Homo-oligomer: A and B are copies of this chain.
Amino acid sequence: MVQIPTTPAPPTPPAPRPVPTSADVARLAGVSRATVSYVLNNTSAVRISEPTRQRVHDAARELGYVPHAAARSLRAGHSRMVLMPAPAVAAGPLYSQFVHDLQQALSQIGYTVVQYGASGMHGQEAVRSWAELRPVAVLVPGNGISAEGVAVLKRSGAKAVVVLAAEHVPGAHTLILDHADVGRLAARHLHERGRRRIGVVVPVERGMDMFSGPRLAGVREELAGTGAEVVALPMAHTEESAAELAARWPELGLDAVFGYNDEYALPLARALQDRGVDIPGDVAVVGADDLLIARLARPRLTSVAIRLPAGPALADLVDRAVHRPGTEAEHPGAIQVALVVRESS
């Protein structure tokens, strides 16, 4: 455990040093506040002599003055911030890599990516809190924004709103990702492999239902009217929960399982094998996300790959949308999902 020190009763802290302002810099440099602003924000439209520039920089350094980001962007008339609401659940390997690649690509073209997490807020309240930061673009990775929300963001200055969602959101560039398709693909494959009693893992952790609900629904929809049975299997992302579920397998009598994703499918597959269940002989297993760990398992795990946009491509989309505000793509883009068949099914 972390030994987080509890500080003893503190002495009276020294009076806090006031934060230097541009007025302080102006006073010290013997120039106007406007001049300070032009110099520190590199406003090329205004000619300032080199000695004056130097005095301003020296004064700023001496006082430890850092321009206020929002004030600077207000004056310059633009922001370079791309805001992404932080997901409601801990990011898995697929999403972590996606965000990292996007962040790198946007940084290279001069944007700053801010992942914003204030999980106490929802709906329009959350959207308003994003708007307060005055981002130039907002990228919403889940089904978390309505047309009204997009309007609030644009009215507060956002030039582009890019959304990954199951359906087109008016006013936004939408990339269609319907999690039900993940379930449909898995179910279709298992049915083709002759499976008729199919379990579907439903993660119990908070916030997961936004993804697991549609996936389960996709499985049910795909198998409706086929005579196959679908059984929901609540499971936590732990060895213990997987073992409990595996212990019930004889009574469940299932011949296949869609494990929600690789991170849940693998512990369950392991627990089943520990109990002597043969995969795929007795039980076919399918995951999703096509993580590296799916390829390390024996048998290798069949998995639904979700091809999130590559960093540079999505960064370019954001940049184009920022420079042409008001024009949405005529047709939403679509994120491909594809089954990668391996030995576990």
Contacts and interface: CB of A to CB of B under 8 A. Distances in A.
A167 to B, nearest CB: 16
A335 B4 CA distance: 9
A100 B91 contact: yes
A86 B115 contact: yes
B93 A5 contact: no
Contact of A66 (B71, B107, B131): B131
A117 B315 CA distance: 14
Nearest to A87: B100
A48 interface: no
Contacts of A151: 64
Interface stretch (A13-21, A50-58, A178-186, A250-258): A13-21
A292 interface: yes
Nearest to A115: B115
Contacts of A316: 4
A116 B91 CA distance: 16
B97 A90 contact: yes
Interface residues of A, number: 94
A309 interface: yes
Interface in A314-337: 314, 316-317, 320, 324-327, 329-336
Nearest to A5: B329
Contact of A5 (B66, B133, B325, B330): B330
Given A2-B308, A92-B96, A112-B129, 19 more contacts: A2-B175, A2-B313, A4-B313, A4-B317, A5-B330, A10-B324, A13-B324, A16-B326, A66-B132, A66-B152, A66-B156, A68-B132, A69-B129, A86-B100, A96-B96, A107-B118, A113-B118, A114-B114, A115-B115
